[in-house]
Structure formats: structure tokens, C-alpha cells
Amino acid sequence: MIERAERPRQRPRANSRPACAVLLAAIVVSASCAPKLRPPVETGKRAPDLVEVATLDPGLHLDIRYATANNFVGRPVYEEARAFLQRPAAEALVRAHRALAAQGYGIVVFDGYRPWSVTKLFWDVTPEDKKEFVADPSQGSRHNRGCAVDLSLYELASGREVEMPSAYDEMTERAYPDYAGGPAEARARRQLLRAAMEAEGFTVYASEWWHYDYKDWPQYPILDLPFSKLTRARPAGF
């Protein structure tokens, strides 16, 4: 009986099913063992006092894009179209809104307090070359502290939002508060908004004309509370 020569054993191909299965299992194990990112832990902060801005002045308009699919994520990330700020920031916002009435404008709010988990989502879905437009969740956001507000202007006469040098959440140089292009009228409105906000203790973010931080933001903790956990009661004394 003639024996057939034994074929030399071949190394498994890099894309063979067993190798892929082993690699996939290693990735899953690695991911499950990796520490889960959590909100930064801070001490010595003021007790939160978040108030719903619309309860302070009915003239404040809301356009909460993150409760709709009309945002850069492409789907709702809030279950409710509501906006909150820490009380001193909310009251300062109302003062700015009322001061703008003399120029024929009111404030429209896109976003206020933002749960930390939403900040992490924004960071995860944003390309690396656009990270300047989102907050690093490992550091937390001033939105998470209830001391940042995204806003624009609307015309008191018509109720329509005004044109600005860029759209809200546009991740281009047109979003910069010192962008020199676009219609002169849009730049003038951007400056009018800035002057009103700065007069009340807010500072514009260097990459977004619509984002303003309140001066007391370091005093408040990073929060991850959903809107459903926040009170609907009308704040008193304002």
C-alpha cells in the first residue's frame, strides 16, 4: 500500500474565522475590563438650585433642538423640550433679555443645563477635528453645572429668530464670535447679543457665538440628572 505524503500544515490565515473569533473575543473582554468613564467627582461646591428659565419670563423663547432630530446628532437626546440654569445665571439671563427689548429683540434659548451623559454622547460622536466644539466629558462641561446657555435673538415684532453669521451648532469658522465674514447686519446682531450678555456677567465661548458661560460656574458641581428629576414649580422671589 502506497502511503500518501502528509501535506505540510499551513498557518491559519489572518482573516480566518478562528483567528477573527479570537480577536473579537479579546476586544470584548478588553472593553468590558476597561474602566467606565464617569462624571468627575468634586467637593466644596454650592448646592444646585436649577430653575426652569421659561418660568421666570414668558417672553423668553425656547427652541430646544436636542429634544428633536434637528441637531448635529440627528436624533433627540432630551425627552423634554425644557431649559434650566442655576438661579443666579437664570436671573441674569432674564435681565439681558429685558435689556434687549429696547432694541426690538428678545432671547431664544437653544440649551441650558445639560446632563453629563449627554456631554459624553456628544464627545463620542464628534470627529476628532471638530472636538473644539464639544466638551471633554473627563473634565465636564459648564452646561453640566447649569451655568452655560446656548442662545440667539428673535424679533419682538415678528417672533422670528434672526439671522446670525452661522447656524446654531455649525462646526465651522463661521461659528467663531470674532468671525469677520457674512452679512454686516448678522455680525451687528451677534455683537448686540454679546454686549447684553457680558453686561450681566456672561462670557462668550471662543469657538461658538451662541455659547455663554456665567461667571459663577466654578462654584457649582457637575450634574447628570435627567430633566424628569427637576422641579416644574415656579421659582419665587424674582
Task: Pull the grid cell for residue 4.
Answer: 500518501
State the DSSP code for 173: G
Q: Is the dihedral of CA 45, 46, 48, 53 positive or negative?
A: negative
Q: What is the DSSP string of 28-88?
A: HHHHHHSPPP-PPP--SPPPP-EEEGGGT-TTSEE--GGGSS-STTSS---SS---EEEHH
SS3 226: coil
Among the listed residues 167, 50, 63, the one whose alpha carbon sits nearest the alpha carbon of residue 115: 50
Interatomic CA distance for residues 208 and 187, integer angstroms: 13
The x, y and z cell numbers of residue 112, run together, are 441650558
CA dihedral 68, 118, 85, 217 (to 10 degrees): -150
- Residues serving a catalytic function are 208
Three cell numbers, residue 206: 471662543
Main-chain dihedrals φ then ψ at residue 214, nearest 5 degrees: -80, 145
